Amino acid sequence: MNYAQTIQYLYDRLPVFHHIGSAAYKPGLDNTIRLMNALDNPHTRYRTIHIAGTNGKGSVSHMLASVLQHAGYKVGLYTSPHLVEFGERIRVNGNMIEQQYVVDFVEKHQNLFGEIEPSFFEATMALAFDYFADKQVDIAVIEVGLGGRLDSTNIIQPELSVITNISFDHVGFLGDTLEKIAFEKAGIIKPHTPVVIGEALPETRPVFTARALEENAPLCFAQETVSVSFIDDADGKMRVQTSDHRRFTVDLCGLYQLSNIATVLTAVQQLNSRGILIDEAALKQGLERVTETTGLKGRWQVLRQHPTIVADTGHNVGGIRYVTEQIKKQTYNTLRIVIGMVNDKDISSVLALLPREAVYYFTQANIIRALDAAELKDKAKSYGLEGNAYNTVKQAVNAAITQAGKEDFLFIGGSNFVVGEALAETDFA
């Protein structure tokens, strides 16, 4: 098989949650343990950091990876889903996994996949862990796929666990209350291993405290350690100041990043105490050059000026709330929003948050889980949101760009897959 055929094999042979939803969800560690044993447990050959949370875990993972890399470490980074290219999921020092490595790994282990029948995520994770061991990384930043307690990544014994925040998402799998969701996320807390909580709510704090006590895990709340405030932004970067009077320039814009930055600063304190040393210079360079260092896309990413076009992957109630607050800070003549969603999200709650004054371009990504654009348009109308439906993301984006004036603001989002297709299929130069 060539690379394209190999990726298609992974999609066709193994169930992919982000494409088909619940049919691909395989909770528990049995498959992972069998895979890791067959591969001689590559995840035990390097240090790891484990990142969970409803929103922000991707940004925090990339920020920590960038900071560690600037501190001189060889860093593996495992995240999901990818936006454009499969290799985005698995990086070493910012470089995507080599296509030939993917081909060779899958060919070598096809019989193993046939025997164990892992999910797409389990097989991809096994590939990542094997790759990191082969590349002899010093440390790997591992983002949880879904939840935490039963997520396949929970086989690792990390140096540090991080839980960014809790809000409603994947309630069919994780529970329909914040406490239940927090319980699943708290499953990554390991014995005697420090844990950083980015944002705690009255409902979730007792859950984290109880789990940490049970595991004798040192618990640190970022909200109580450091606060981060916005100064200004320019040239695609944001300047912030901390409560201990430090200043940082960060190339991930969006006010929602303030709590993520505080989480990273608190995590760095904990890593230093564990002998994973990061000096102030590496911290500053790492935060200022996250996208350059790690290749992160889709976090309040400015794609063009005049008109201003921004894409963001926020896709649940918590993420969209942050996005709408950020949109309120913008100046424009007309606000235009390209939006598509998957059908297993809390669509009504998201629509209730969106600004009524915008012109909407309702669309759907090319995946089974995508909510039909016409259906989304009909649902949105009951919330006072007006616009037209488009069968493809490319059609919607092109229509919005064609109709936009130079002083308009165009936002693209609602789903990782909408953002991914927009980035892949549209020339924003």
**Mean pLDDT of the chain, nearest integer:** 92
Residue in the structure block whose two tokens are 């064609």:
402
- Candidate from 10-19, 138-147, 163-172, 248-257 with smallest mean pLDDT: 10-19
Instruction: For domain 3-294, give the CATH superfamily.
Output: Mur-like, catalytic domain (3.40.1190.10)
**Residue among 129, 125, 273 nearest 196 (CA):** 273
pLDDT digits (tens, 9 = 90+) for 312-367: 998 788 889 889 999 998 999 999 999 999 887 679 999 999 999 999 999 999 98
pLDDT band at 174 (very low <50, low <70, confident <90, very high): low
pLDDT band at 14 (very low <50, low <70, confident <90, very high): low
Is-contact 354 337, C-beta < 8 A? Answer: yes
User: How many percent of the chain have pLDDT more than 70?
Assistant: 94
**Would you tell me how many other CB atoms lie within 10 Å of the CB of residue 343?**
15
Which is more confident, 25 or 198?
198
- Candidate from 270-274, 283-287, 369-373 with smallest mean pLDDT: 369-373
Which is more confident, 329 or 135?
135
The 10 Å CB-count burial string (b at 16+, else e) for 250-261 is bbbbbbbbbbbb
Instruction: For domain 301-425, give the CATH superfamily.
Output: Mur ligase, C-terminal domain (3.90.190.20)
And the tokens for 250? 């960060």
Residue 255 pLDDT exceeds 60 = yes
pLDDT for res 295: 93
And the tokens for 176? 């329909």
pLDDT for res 344: 73
Residue in the structure block whose two tokens are 């606000």:
335
Is-contact 300 330, C-beta < 8 A? Answer: no
Largest alpha-carbon pair distance within the chain?
A: 59
Residue 40 pLDDT exceeds 50 = yes
Q: What is the mean pLDDT of residues 127-155?
A: 94
pLDDT for res 393: 97
pLDDT digits (tens, 9 = 90+) for 61-73: 999 999 999 999 9
Q: What is the mean pLDDT of residues 221-230?
A: 95
pLDDT for res 21: 44
pLDDT for res 317: 87
Residue 75 pLDDT exceeds 80 = yes
pLDDT for res 20: 42
Is-contact 401 295, C-beta < 8 A? Answer: no
And the tokens for 177? 């209350």
At residue 232's C-alpha, the angle toward residues 226 and 238, to 5°, is 70
**Would you tell me how many other CB atoms lie within 10 Å of the CB of residue 393?**
29
**Residue among 54, 65, 80, 222 nearest 143 (CA):** 80
Domain locations in the chain? 3-294, 301-425
User: How many percent of the chain have pLDDT more than 90?
Assistant: 78
**pTM higher than the cut 0.85:** yes
pLDDT for res 27: 61
pLDDT digits (tens, 9 = 90+) for 84-132: 999 999 999 999 999 999 999 999 999 999 899 888 889 999 999 999 9
